[in-house]
Amino acid sequence: MRIASGRIPAIDTLRGLAALIIIFWHYPFFFGPKPLPSTFAPFYTNGQAAVDVFFVISGFILSYVYLSRISDVSDAWRYVVKRIARLYPLHFVTLIVVGAIFLGLWFIHGHEAYVYSNRNPYHFVLNLLLLQHVGLQQGWSFNGPSWSISTEFWINVAFVVGLLLVKPRRQLVLSLLVVALCTWAITHWGQTWRGGPMWGGWFEHNLARTACGFYAGVAVYMLWRSVPGLPALGELALVLGVGLFLYLISLEPDGPHEMLFGALLTLVAAPLMVFGTATSALLNAVCSSTFGKWIGDISYSIYMWHFPVAAFLVLLGARSAFASHTWLAAVYVAIVLIVATVSYHYLEVPARDWIVGRFTKRSTLVANANS
């Protein structure tokens, strides 16, 4: 399937499903016992790998939208404004909400410790500047899952710089070089694929992890654009990618071959899934449904609200209010989905449109005045 313009429905749906997997991965850290442990075993075991799927999707989508549209600094400015408009408003609001919840935990329960320990002014400022996970931090802080928003934003900025410096037809070579360099660095200096101490005490491991997944997505896009639209190829890639992904996340994350499994997931399984979802005519038809569009639309809000909602439920004493963790999990997921839906329609979209309209219009006027 080749879509000349607009969104790719199956990619949006894949992003939404990845966000749901992250909820299951974090649930035991937030609430304790795992509900339905057999049914969702792979997600509890290694669901964090869904973040790497996010990175590959991001590289694919930003290439799909911007690869041939960035030709000068004015274009790059509009791109950065749009990335800020997409990522920052929700990040800012959830940061403030989490800070307020931590104060509530301190006043009501006499402590503020809940999952993420670095809740001081220094880390608050890092979060405000989207620098909470680039090597300046002392650990996880505030809305912990937003670490990936920090690393992804700065890799997104590096991407547009690359578009200014390297011609579009050479982006495949650039992306493969970045993937190779990051893979070598992670395997050479990292203790595991998905985390560990900062290299040399200053370089953040997850920046390399993010860049590796993102530029793998760029390479997938370049391949997808050049390969004829063969539906069977898409279905095969999708089946292989999903099968490998489910196998890899069922393995213990701290096993002896974790580095290999992490590389296979980021460089093989996730790219196959993204290529397959973008190519499969059948899947894109299915994901054009109301559910597919909805879960894709709210994927970012799911990811950013799932910790604040959990922290608020803990503040209210929900862990002791439910006799069954299955019911607690059901209520928790339902609230996350409701909050995410409201957030998308009344926060994400209006804030994004306002920022883009205000700042890109100004840059256009300046460009016209200087021409």
- Mean pLDDT of all residues belonging to the chain: 88
Instruction: Determine whether 159 is exposed, middle or buried from the number of CB atoms within 10 Å of its CB (0-12, 13-18, 19+).
Output: buried
The model's confidence at residue 275, banded by pLDDT at 50, 70 and 90, is very high
CA 104 to chain CA mean position, Å: 28
Specify the pLDDT at position 230.
65
Tokens of 281: 């005519």
Torsion of CA 18, 20, 22, 26, to 10 degrees: -170
Please name which of 57, 185, 209, 212 lies closest in space to residue 133, comparing C-alpha atoms. Answer: 209
Domain extents in the chain: 9-364
Where do the DSSP E strands lie in the chain?
none
Instruction: Determine whether 281 is exposed, middle or buried from the number of CB atoms within 10 Å of its CB (0-12, 13-18, 19+).
Output: middle
Q: Is the pLDDT score of 200 beyond 80?
A: no
Polymer length in residues for the chain: 371
- Whole-structure pTM value: 0.92
Q: Is the pLDDT score of 366 beyond 60?
A: no
Average pLDDT of the segment spanning 276-296: 90
